Structure 1
Amino acid sequence: MSHMPALEAATLPADAVEVGRIADAWGIKGWFKVQAFSSDPEALFTAKQWFLQPPEKGAKQFSGTVVLSVKQARTHSDSIVATSAQVVDRNAAEALRGARIFVAREHFPKAGDGEYYWVDLMGLSVVNREGVALGVVKDLMATGPQTVLVLGYEAQGKEQERLIPFVDAYVDKVDLAGKTIVADWQPDY
């Protein structure tokens, strides 16, 4: 017998961003732990609706996309815990283990001046002040206090990686509309 909570099928919004996954049940009242993917999980706290998809690997308790109404999400020690009226007990919370959490982009709090969501930087082309193409942002890494852009580029017919610290000292300008980042960086660094 499945303890799957009664979740409504939904269509993943076009602007949905994957922000984390459900890690495990927490306590006995249907709360669950969430593993956030980024160091700025505000969207998990502000969005009242999370869109869930089954884990890519392992047992699937549901298929397609379902919508979860979040009653409360908050930080607890070093993780995030959340509760939903649809998840009534520990069994229901356990049934969601591994589910991927997506939030519609419109529910993200507005980034402050000079702040960017990682998701917005992915795929941007990076050029230096001289206009030399350095690569395309394919990933970001948090290394302690700073974020590092991981660029992919081709050299000698092979896919290479270049790392540039995402700090004011090296990044002159982020042009989201123009999908470019201008960096004070040389190709041979």
Structure 2
Amino acid sequence: MTPLLPEDYVVLGKVSSVYGVKGWVKVFSFTEPMDRILEYGNWTLKQGQDLIPIEVDMGRSHGKGMVAHFKGVDDREIAKRYSGADICVPRSRLPELSEGECYWYELEGLTVITTHDVILGTVDYVMSAGSGNDVLVIKGDAKSIDRRERLVPYIDQFVIEVDLGVGQVIVDWDPEF
């Protein structure tokens, strides 16, 4: 079997820091709901170019975030080694979506064009603004009207079409805003 490459993985969250003295870590989850990240069980941690397979044997919600424990990691200093690591799983483990739906990572790098054919830039990433409101973070580039960063709410009122095949997002957005 061919080993998976970094591009075969999708980032679901991040190990932010240690939690307590028994090897637990704080986790920032990108999944919705946030505790869905625990359903994947075995994660691959990405630190730089290193991919580290790790088994999550316990996890739970804690305050506004999550905490997790890795099998065999029972010491704070060992757990600290994983701080800052991206939490990844193979893309093949993601559930299939319904027609017309896409994952956030699939939007990254798409060209954003207004309904008046003005190129605003490319999707850098998507972020949650709370209460189920997602926002496209668009970076201006050499092909865009300017090099400004724009934040466009990811709602039907503004995002008219996403075409993954063509690699673009059509938005109803004033370039001056």
**TM-score normalised by the chain length of structure 2:** 0.75
Q: Secondary structure at the match of 1:66?
A: strand
Q: Quote how far apart the aligned CAs of 1:13 are.
A: 4.4
Coordinate RMSD, CA, aligned? 3.1
Q: 1:129 to 1:98 in 2, by over 3 A?
A: closer
Q: Which runs of 5+ in 1 are unaligned?
A: 1-9, 57-62
Q: 1:17 to 1:156 in 2, by over 3 A?
A: closer
Give the structure with higher Rg (CA): 1
Instruction: Provide the rounded CA distance (Å) in 2 between the counterparts of 1:11 and 1:74.
Output: 28
Q: Please show how residues 113-124 of structure 1 align to structure 2 within 5 Å.
A: 115-124=101-110
Aligned to 2:154: 166
Matched AA of 2:58: Q
Aligned to 1:150: 137
Matched AA of 2:125: D
Shift >4 Å, 4+ stretches: 10-13, 111-115, 154-158
Does 2:23 align with 1:30?
A: yes
Matched AA of 2:15: I
Q: Secondary structure at the match of 1:123?
A: coil
Q: Which runs of 5+ in 2 are unaligned?
A: none
Instruction: Provide the rounded CA distance (Å) in 1 between the counterparts of 2:120 and 2:156.
Output: 17
- Aligned-residue sequence identity (percent) comes to 33
Q: Please show how residues 132-147 of structure 1 align to structure 2 within 5 Å.
A: 132-145=118-131, 146-147=133-134
Q: Quote how far apart the aligned CAs of 1:123 are.
A: 0.8
Aligned to 1:71: 57
Instruction: Provide the rounded CA distance (Å) in 1 between the counterparts of 2:150 and 2:18.
Output: 39
Q: 2:114 aligns with which of 125, 128, 141?
A: 128
